[in-house]
Chains A and B, each alone.
Chain A
Amino acid sequence: MVLCYVDNVLNKSLTDENFPFFSIYFRIQTRMKNSYDIIVIGAGHAGIEATVSSARMGMKVGLITMDLNAIGRLSCNPAIGGTAKGHLVKEIDALGGVMGILADRSGIQFKMLNRSKGPAIWSPRCQSDKEVYLKEATKLILSYENIELIQDMVKKLIVDDTNGDGVNKPKYIIKGVKTESGIYITCKSVIITTGTFLNAVMHTGRNQTLGGRIGEKSATGLSECLMKLGFKTGRLKTGTPPRLDINTIDFNKTVPAPGDEVLLPFSFRTKTGFPFLQQVDCHLTYTNHKTHEELRKGFSDSPMFSGRIKGTGPRYCPSIEDKVNRFSDKPRHQIFLEPETLNGNTIYMNGFSTSLPLEVQETAARTIPGLENVRIVKQGYAVEYDFFPTWQVNATMETKLIEHLYTAGQINGTSGYEEAAAQGLIAGINSVLKLKNQPPFILKRSEAYIGVLIDDLINKTPEEPYRMFTSNAEYRLVLRQDNADIRLMKYGNSLGLIEDEYIKILDGKLDLIKAGLDFAKANTLSPRQVNTYLNEIGSSDISSGEFISNLVRRNSVSLKEILHLADFTGQEKLREHLLSDENTLSQIEIELKYDGYIKRMHEQIKNFERNESINIPPDFNYDKIQSLSAEGREKLNSIRPTTLGQAMRISGVRTTDVSALMIFMRG
């Protein structure tokens, strides 16, 4: 039985000596069966997390992709993390996901963003070698005996009727999938992670091509099948900038943008060998009025301005033509030149996302310092694709309409690798828990960015692709990237995704934090011990002994410096441990420095959790409350919040609706 196009596996782009393509070949030939516990459709960032997590939780998983050479491809920018997204990666990692590990293995520049802001906003980011990322992802998938790769396109879902209404009870139950090559594969669960590929159309100038990524085809059939089953779809748009030939750039006319000096890995589990690859610089340059003039010349051909693109694009990541058009008073826009690979020839032109005609892209780019003779090797383009508004899924990412069917990633109207991976992980975990008859795994807004992400997705009406921002997380002061392990690793462990050895390390860290906090609150420094230091940093003298905890509260005082001055007689071991562990030290410092704010935040969390603990019965009949607004009733009926707190967050549900609900439930 031929289930895939094996010839693609032999594609020359993967004939790197280390790359085990023979094992794929081998496995496809001999071990492919047409029945799985879980089928994952799409091998992007959501698909990888869904596949690996469910496999590690003991399931037999079939991963179906249209292109075996594109597992974990970084379709847009060659970078992982960034503001708020870095938090997601850390959380995925703490729960036992793989994105952090893949980023560490492929990173060619690591940087902690927003160091000038408070610790809650610090976000790790890395430039990744996209070839290495892809190979590491493929290797990882292949390392699991219970994952099988299938190259094919899913055309149809096979479902059984359940006589449910699709709201309180699913209407259908998943049975399997049917592929383009006509194969019927049975399974207990399906996770759809098709990214931008459903009915995808790419635009450059007046040209339209079917396809989700340049050179790759569009996935057709699945969308129609889902719509026929009763799903509602919408159309979104995203874009990508041109890729440039590195040899045609004069980097002397640009400003180097190096990474950090001290490199921190994403993964709490990355220990030895980091960094794995040579570290490189990015380069910064700017557009100018000439660039903008050239771009304007192409506006008449713009698929955005002419209305050929119907889908809504993100406001936070506008195309260069959008920026020039909407902010015409801005004389320049920044352009980061980012290497796509360590040894390759292409540069990603960050900040220059566009769907203008190729000639316009090139002429405009050539007005930019350093790019005077640049050659575009791959044009920028916009892609329009189908998405499924997420009021149709539960917090487990399972669809309300079809039992055991999950959707994750861009198909859910999100943007970004990290957002996709987070959903993939949650979908993978929950699909397994459900098959094992175990309670679902749902993170609260007060626990994790992932909780915020999914809660927003299922309650808010999307108006543009959803991207994670720190401001979406009300409780971000306690949801920091540095404490993701403390927040989530034990969950990962109980799910079977984090090994016990890491929990041991975590417990050691928790003990040390406690010991450090106790020490700071119980010990004082005398004026003689500390005043010299205080003078150095321009802080005022103390006249009598002062507790370490109070000293650290001063703006510029560093805990590490203070501990160097403190008397640890009898506790030399503690001193040694504290001063050798930067991460732990920083946790203690944050706890002490921002004590008042953190207390206020915990107050807010308590208030929040009060409403989260008021459950709404799953079969609650909203039609009994006559006074609900029409929109509120409709939203409550379709989203079916599980708690009063959730009901309050649903867009379209008014305050009076919530009050009515509250009073009604109280009787």
Chain B
Amino acid sequence: MKKNLYDTIAAIATPAGEGGISVIRVSGGNAFASLGEIFYKDKGRKLSFNAEAVLSHTIHFGYIFDGGNLLDEVLVSVFKNPNSYTGEDIIEISCHGGQYLTQRILSALLKSGVRLAEAGEFTKRAFLNGRIDLSQAEAVADLIKAKTEKAQFSSIRQLEGSLSDFVKQTRKELINLTSLVELELDFADEGLEFTDKSEMLKKFQLLKDKLEQVIDSYIAGKVIREGVKLVIAGKPNSGKSSLFNELLKSNRAIVSEIEGTTRDYIEESLIIKGFLFSLTDTAGLRFAEDIIESEGIKRSMDKIYEADVVLYLIDSTKPKGTILDEINQVKSIVKPEKLLIVLSKSDLANSDGQLNELKISIKDSNTIEALKLKMVEIVSNEITVGKSSEITLTNLRHKICLENVVASLSKAIESLKNNMSGEFISIDLRNAMDYLGEITGEVTNNEILSNIFGKFCIGK
């Protein structure tokens, strides 16, 4: 059967599995009517319910029936178009949790002229009804997947339209630049004064810089969304595994274990102050004549290169000279901005240690807390969300679009520098505008749309 874009659709909006309550969402022109067929105010099915007759944004108690069978007592929320998530009439049935019951209620609805929603279809409708734009639709997807508070914050900002606002503003600036260029072409014989080249170049450069800053924010955005890759490295017996376990200890409840493909390293996730860290414990490193002497060490090195932050542990009980040598060795391998050198076993350390590095002992929880703070500090340096009004890119598609905008803008700048006539500059400005429009869906094609809508889980 061909699915109609304006069928009334339903789906279970809460995750599968046992739970206190489940929510079934129905959206479309027949939402109220189909509810009326299965929902009554009393157990005797005498008091029928007409959602049309009640106010929008109200909740109603009653009973759900499938044919003559009472299924559950539920709460029904009523949202009337256009003031709903999709812009259509929506009802949400909050029933008791449990797969079987929820499925029964859903199938009762399906018998009353409603069809099952496809992935992302509610959001698709919100988009089609002009409730949200494309970047906001993507933010919904991100919001659902958000693992941390920070990620959620960033998605909400996007949902509120901060990216859309930025795109709109940038579009305006591009249009302004284009107008400057065009003016000189179409009105050359009108005796007007034109913006001089260096002034124009300055404006182009300014916009390009601004866009590049936003693109740079993607790194931060990625950290927010996917977490910081933190690798614990060091020589054998420097205390890596102890620290690894110590860091995870208090956070067990909220991490899930992902084992590495080999036994050479272990990955775990934890959240510190709202930031998601993905922790990797590596096999001990030996800086021998052959730097890479085993497959395990090679893997450890690979992990170090992939890491956002390398937490390098050195046993502080060693002689100061040895420690300093090791510090130098590490610094030659790992970039300073992502290196955090930590001296372990500080409780056993020699008293002559006048080293500036952070010292920890797993026996002293204060030192562990200090380490955690330091870890957050390093990450925070890269992240501006919540602190400034700048937007943060969290979506790869947006980043690619913006990179294309910048590439086009660079070509335009190149043409300008080469004294090319305006119509050549304008070609690339037009391209820039098209790429920009792809972010919010102003320039749109089927692929982008289906790609975006395919990403949603059923129910949203």
Interface set of A (CB-CB < 8 Å, partner B): 82-84, 113-114, 116-118, 120-121, 316, 333-334, 469-471, 474, 476-477, 555, 594, 597, 600-601, 604, 607, 610, 624-627, 629, 654-656, 658-660, 662-664, 666-667
Contact = CB atoms under 8 A, between A and B. Distances in A.
Contact of A469 (B186, B427, B431, B446): B186
A117 B419 CA distance: 10
A625 B188 contact: no
B182 interface: yes
B424 A118 contact: yes
A604 B130 contact: no
B130 A118 contact: no
B2 A470 contact: no
Given A114-B185, A477-B424, A664-B5, 16 more contacts: A83-B188, A114-B189, A116-B188, A117-B184, A117-B188, A118-B424, A476-B423, A477-B427, A600-B431, A625-B5, A627-B128, A659-B441, A662-B444, A662-B446, A662-B449, A666-B446
Given A470-B186, A600-B428, A656 B127 contact: yes
A619 B422 CA distance: 42
A594 B47 CA distance: 77
B186 A659 contact: no
A474 B430 contact: yes
B284 interface: no
A470 B427 contact: no
16 contacts: A116-B421, A117-B184, A118-B423, A121-B422, A316-B187, A477-B423, A604-B434, A607-B434, A659-B128, A660-B5, A662-B444, A662-B446, A662-B449, A664-B5, A667-B3, A667-B5
B191 A594 contact: no
A29 B87 CA distance: 71
A345 B421 CA distance: 40
Contacts of A664: 5
Contacts of B2: 667
A114 B188 contact: yes
A374 to B, nearest CB: 21
Contacts of B125: 627
A484 B393 CA distance: 46
A664 B4 CA distance: 8
Contacts of A114: 185, 188-189
Contact of A470 (B420, B423, B440, B449): B423
Nearest to B6: A626
Contacts of A656: 127-130, 133, 441
A604 to B, nearest CB: 7
Given A659-B449, A667-B3, A117 B185 contact: yes
Interface in B406-434: 418-424, 426-428, 430-431, 434
Contacts of A84: 186
B390 interface: no
Contacts of A607: 434
B184 to A, nearest CB: 8
B442 interface: yes
Contacts of B449: 659, 662-663
Given A477-B427, A656-B129, A659-B449, A117 B422 contact: yes
Given A629-B130, A656-B127, A604 B427 contact: yes
Nearest to B5: A664
B197 to A, nearest CB: 13
Given A471-B182, A655-B442, A655-B444, A627 B129 contact: yes
A226 B6 CA distance: 40
Interface of B: 2-3, 5-6, 29, 87, 124-125, 127-130, 133, 182, 184-191, 418-424, 426-428, 430-431, 434, 440-442, 444-446, 449
Given A597-B427, A662-B449, A664-B5, A117 B186 contact: no
B430 A604 contact: yes
A380 B423 CA distance: 35
* Shortest beta-carbon contacts, A-B, top 7: A118-B421, A334-B191, A471-B182, A117-B421, A469-B186, A656-B130, A627-B129
A555 B421 CA distance: 11
A659 B132 CA distance: 13
B444 A594 contact: no
Contacts of A660: 5, 128
A563 B112 CA distance: 80
B128 A594 contact: no
A656 B129 CA distance: 7
A666 B3 CA distance: 10
B188 A471 contact: no
Nearest to A284: B191
Contact of B185 (A82, A471, A600, A658): A471
A655 B424 CA distance: 27
B430 A120 contact: no
Contact of A659 (B3, B127, B189, B420): B127
A224 to B, nearest CB: 37
B205 to A, nearest CB: 21
A118 B427 contact: no
Contacts of A667: 2-3, 5
A477 to B, nearest CB: 6
Contacts of A116: 188, 421
Contacts of B423: 117-118, 120-121, 470, 476-477
Contacts of A610: 445
Contacts of B185: 83, 114, 117, 121, 470-471
A316 B125 CA distance: 42
A456 to B, nearest CB: 14
Contacts of A471: 182, 185-186, 426
A594 B424 contact: yes
B59 to A, nearest CB: 26
Residue in A470, A555, A625 whose Cβ sees the most chain B Cβ within 10 Å: A470
Contacts of A333: 191
Contacts of A316: 187
A151 to B, nearest CB: 38
